[in-house]
Structure 1
């Protein structure tokens, strides 16, 4: 997989996690554990995208 393809894949996953996070946050009784997990995953993806972009 090329660097561009990997970055694009990570960006798509980041956008998906962002949508999942928004959906969970807007539920009547959001699960804080799920929100925390999604935030960690989103940050991990962002860090990986950033790391790949600087190489």
Structure 2
């Protein structure tokens, strides 16, 4: 894998921060919906699926930005 330019690293860092924030926001929304009087199960499932997709992208970005050092 080629080393990242500073611009690429900055862009990926911004994307990572945005994905982490969206993940946290979804988590809060899911909690709020789950605790409501009549939870919308379909909406909760869609949000959980989106949250899982975000988590996968977060891990992907972290692996690009913070590669494991083989010792």
List gaps (5 residues or longer) in structure 1. none
Moved over 4 A (4+): none
Distance 1:25 1:54 in 2: 32
- 1:20 maps to 2:19: no
Q: CA RMSD in A?
A: 1.0
Flag the structure with more relative contact order, 1 or 2, with Cα contacts below 8 A and sequence separation at least 6: 1
Greater helix percent: which structure? 1
Shift of 1:52: 1.1
Tell me, which stretches of 5 or more residues in structure 2 are unaligned?
A: 1-9, 65-71
The normalised TM-score by structure 1 is 0.93
Point out the structure with max Rg over C-alpha: 2
Taking structure 2 as the reference length, what is the TM-score of the superposition? Answer: 0.73
